[in-house]
A and B are shown apart, each in its own frame.
Chain A
Amino acid sequence: MSYVLTINGKQRTVDVDGDTPLLWVLRDVLQMNGTKFGCGMALCGACTVHLNGQPVRSCQTPVSSVGKGKVTTIEAIGETATGKRIQQAWIAHDVPQCGYCQSGQIMSASALLAANPHPTDADIDAAMAGNICRCGTYTRIRAAIKTAAKG
């Protein structure tokens, strides 16, 4: 079936089964590879994108459920003021190691800051606990979020 998606402000038409996870539409159909596959069960957060500004796990988001929702991915998050600040803070703190999970981390952190410009440690824990980093960069992620929050 054909679906018209709004991704990073552009309309994209894809022809896939409705139960196809948005993740694979992005990666394999549209060749937008910044969004990562980690677990396929919404357990690790590597595939996080925004749907109408809310962080969602694209591996568990059927394409049929997206409708007219606006999808934002790592490729365009830097075009938002919050996303740009987060990326700059990530660079300032040299957060990434292998870097594979960081697209998802940045999408979760950007959504957090957009909703809550001055998060507490507990807010950061709650918003970021769904994103696993196997390199263990959590200390720097927390510090970078705080830096970005300061603007």
Chain B
Amino acid sequence: MDALVSRRDFLKASAGAAGSLVLAVHLPGLAAVAHSFSPSAFVTVGSDGLVTLTMPYVEMGQGTYTSIPMLVAEELEVDLSQVRTAHAPADPAYRHGLFGVQLTGASASIRAAWMPLRQAGAAARTMLVQAAAKQWNVDPASCKAVRGEVVHAASGRKLAYGALAADAAALPVPKDVALKPAGSYALVGKPAKRTDTPSKVNGTAKFGIDAVVPGMKVAAIAACPVFGGKLAKVDDHKALKVKGVRKVVRLDNAVAVIADHTGAARKGLAACAITWDEGSNNGFSSAAWEQKLASAGKEKGLVVHDEGGYAKVAGGAGRKVEAVYTMPFLAHATMEPMNATARVGKDGVDIWTGTQAPERLQIFVGKALGIAPASVRVHNQLLGGGFGRRLEVDVAVQAALVARQVDYPVKLIWSREEDIQHDYYRPFWRDELAAVLDEGGMPVAFSHRFAGSSIEARYAPEWMAKGIDTDAVEQAEGPYNIPARFVEYMPVETSVPTGFWRGVGPTHNIFVVESFIDELAHTAGKDPVAYRQALLNKNPRALAVLNLAAQKSGWATRKPGPGEGFGVSVGTAWGSFAAAVLECVVSKEGAVTVKRVVTAIDCGQPVNPDGVVAQAESGQVYGLTAALYGKLTVENGRIMQSNFHDYPLMRMNEMPVMETHIVPSTESPGGMGELGTALIAPALANAVFAATGKRLRSLPLEPGPV
């Protein structure tokens, strides 16, 4: 990215309020060159000296409201506390260069912002220094920017940025501004306190669910439990007798009860006698789906990767190893249940919600109501977890359809049951792996063929390349130096809606590849770490994290007790590299306890190292939950699980010791929101194998009695 986009492509002065300096910043895509200038973030230095960063990246826990302002503050020479962060409105101006729409995800925020926001800070600082030098009639080179002021040391004069902003705004944006060299940063690379923590410890942080709009009522909703089904009829006479219930609203596929408070709305909904028209999907089941994927595996699919003459090598001499893996449908289960507040008026629609995709929300709400997307105003809030779920805008559409039927705003809150049963699920995958080992036990050919539903085909067909879902195939070939590699993808349409889930494509592919590589190592009678080290001879950053994780975990001197096992995995994605060594114990009854995880990360230049560690460990807990418990089953076209009793999430008492080590680096930053998730399931599966001798090829890991 750095080499592709020159400075002039992403920085321009822009008109702002009187007395302020505004720089418009183009946040580029990660691969594309920006040919025309389109600002997607704004840095404003106000006459009060406050710096405001308006940017498209939302805060859903991943720390963007801290790490991204750090980039501006670093070059602008202000404290992080002087930078305010503003939610961007839904507007094409804030489109993500990589995706072509406004969204936060794919561990891409820090990668896209790294160059342009430091450039913006440096340009603003240069202009403020020039403005001061002009006032004092001195050489700008004799002035220095220090913590929000320009200082002329020789004369002892100082001027605060706020007093210089108006003058600075009249100056041309400098053509070339040198960025600080790595190693001379004041903020970047040093642990920073999150800017949002204080509001998150006293209940004042405002999430979408906390929106309060004058005159609003609240609503509870039940949609047809069978995907694609419709509402046939509802008898609401009991519901309407519940104190506080105002109205029962019928949608095509759902019933909503509007009330003065959610207690009444939920009680009213429970009192509705609803008859569903289940439609054509009520025969769908997980078992039938797996059969369908197995059939698809017998067909030819889309060849994604074919190098080293795979067919010829695979047909030649050598020991052949084959295995089939499956992964179930998974819900996101954000702690903040899905919700949106809608006001439908003659002047358009207002939506208050926490969304990863504000522009998509405008488009879909506009379409549902038959109005222009620009008439939909999105008031974005903090997200109580995103994980990909809030890339979908279904609840905002529902809220708008409900609010359209009344003359007051409506806050619609889903129950946890709705959340589990009406998600866009992580796809159910079925993978066929094959390899040929040479006489020394090393793979000379590697094949990964897999079948499952395409998310991109539904969500954004324009992201597909030559008909191939680019997310589904990411990391499917693995990071290893194997002479002949082959990847084939069989997309199969499903009636269960599937969507992006933390870790997306790599969290599927890394589980499969890292488990299978482990199988190959054991088949060859080799140490799993040494086997990987040999295969990473052309991938120095991946090798370095593997070496560090092995060293810090004491891999070489490990002494597992009865029922204990160590497992290793390596993951490379989103511009980052990580390896984990996991220690588990499996009881005779087959209960798996994770004792310790040691992780080594190379995410390039860490911006906020404390945030990197937080994200790595957060991702691992998310991934461990999936590996230990995550399973949704579909029968008769509906999800059989409903809440945390049958879709359990990891809790405090199940936590392992976690040690995370960051490899020092000055490479461009990589994303860290999802790699931990992708990395951890195979480390656990491999540890369970070491502990029990059982190779588990389906998630969640259920070893059974040992």
Contact A73 B263 (CB under 8 A): no
Asked if B643 is at the interface (CB within 8 A of a chain A CB), the reply is yes
* Also in contact, A99 and B205, with CB within 8 A (given A44-B335, A132-B644, A141-B652): yes
Interchain CB contact (< 8 A) of A106 among B201, B335, B614, B622? B201
Is A96 on the interface with B (CB-CB < 8 A)?
yes
Minimum distance in angstroms from A71 CB to a CB of chain B: 14
Q: How far is the CB of B416 from chain A (nearest CB, A)?
A: 4
| With known contacts A16-B261, A134-B649, A33–B212 Cβ distance under 8 A | yes
Listed residue (A44, A75, A134, A139) with the most chain B CB atoms within 10 angstroms of its CB: A134
Q: How far is the CB of B290 from chain A (nearest CB, A)?
A: 28
**CB-nearest residue of chain B to A35:** B203
- Cβ A139 vs Cβ B335 within 8 A: no
Contact between chains at A36 and B260 (CB < 8 Å): no
Binds A, one of B21-29, B126-134, B190-198: B190-198
Across the interface, which residues of B come within 8 angstroms of A31, CB to CB?
212
Residue tally, chain A, CB below 8 Å to B = 62
Decide: A136 and B197 in contact? CB cutoff 8 A.
no
* Cβ-defined contact, B263 with A24, below 8 A: yes
Residue pair A40, B415 in contact (C-beta under 8 Å)? yes
Binding site for B on A (CB under 8 A): 16-17, 19-21, 23-25, 27-29, 31-41, 43-44, 46, 73-75, 77-78, 87, 90-91, 94-103, 106, 124-126, 128-142
B298 within 8 A of A: no
Say if the beta carbon of B651 comes within 8 Å of chain A: yes
Q: Are A20 and B622 interface neighbours, CB within 8 A? A: no
CB closest residue in chain B, given A39? B416
A149 to B9, CA, bound (A): 53
- Given known contacts A37-B337, A129-B653, A139-B658, A25 and B263 CB-to-CB distance under 8 angstroms: yes
Q: Are B197 and A90 in contact (CB under 8 A)?
A: yes
Q: How far is the CA of A45 from the CA of B193 in the complex (A)?
A: 26
Q: In the A-B complex, list the 3 residue pairs whose CB atoms are closest, starting with the nearest.
A: A34-B203, A136-B621, A100-B384
Complex CA distance for A9 and B151, rounded to whole angstroms? 51
16 residue pairs A–B, Cβ–Cβ below 8 Å: A19-B267, A28-B261, A33-B203, A39-B416, A40-B643, A43-B645, A91-B197, A98-B335, A98-B385, A99-B199, A100-B336, A133-B335, A134-B334, A136-B617, A136-B620, A139-B655
- In the complex where A102-B200, A132-B649, A136-B621 touch, is A38 in contact with B267 (Cβ < 8 A)? no
Whether A97 pairs with B618 at a CB distance below 8 angstroms is: yes
Q: Which of the residues B202, B336, B655 comes within 8 Å of A34, measured between beta carbons?
A: B202
The B interface is mostly helix, strand or loop, or mixed, namely loop
* Chain A residues within an 8 Å CB radius of B264: 16-17, 20, 24
Interface residues of B in 219-252 (CB under 8 A from A): 242-244
Chain A residue, CB-CB nearest to B203: A34
B380 within 8 A of A: no
What residues of chain A lie closer than 8 Å to B416, measured between beta carbons? Answer: 38-41, 44
Task: Decide: A96 and B200 in contact? CB cutoff 8 A.
Answer: yes
Q: Are B218 and A28 in contact (CB under 8 A)?
A: yes
Contacts A16-B264, A17-B263 given; indicate if A100 touches B244 (C-beta within 8 A): no
For residue B62, CB closer than 8 A to chain A, the reply is yes
Identify the closest chain B residue to A21 (Cβ): B263
Give the Cβ gap from B676 to chain A, nearest Cβ, in Å: 9
B residues near A16, Cβ cutoff 8 Å:
243-244, 261, 263-264
**Residue in B60, B202, B382, B649 whose CB lies within 8 Å of A74:** B202
Q: Which of B62, B201, B263 has the most CB of A within 10 A?
A: B201
> Is there an interface contact between B212 and A125, defined as CB atoms closer than 8 Å?
no
- Considering the complex, give the chain B residue whose CB is closest to the CB of A108: B652
Do residues A99 and B382 form an inter-chain contact, with CB atoms below 8 A? Answer: yes
Known contacts A24-B262, A99-B196: A135-B385 contact under CB 8 Å: yes
Residues on A with C-beta less than 8 A from B193 are: 91, 94
Question: What are the residues of chain A within 8 A of B530 when measuring CB–CB?
Answer: none
Q: Which of B263, B644, B658 is in CB contact (< 8 Å) with A28?
A: B263
- Chain A residues lying within 8 Å of B243, measured Cβ to Cβ, are 16-17
| Interface residue from B204, B210, B618, B644 paired with A43 (Cβ < 8 Å) | B644
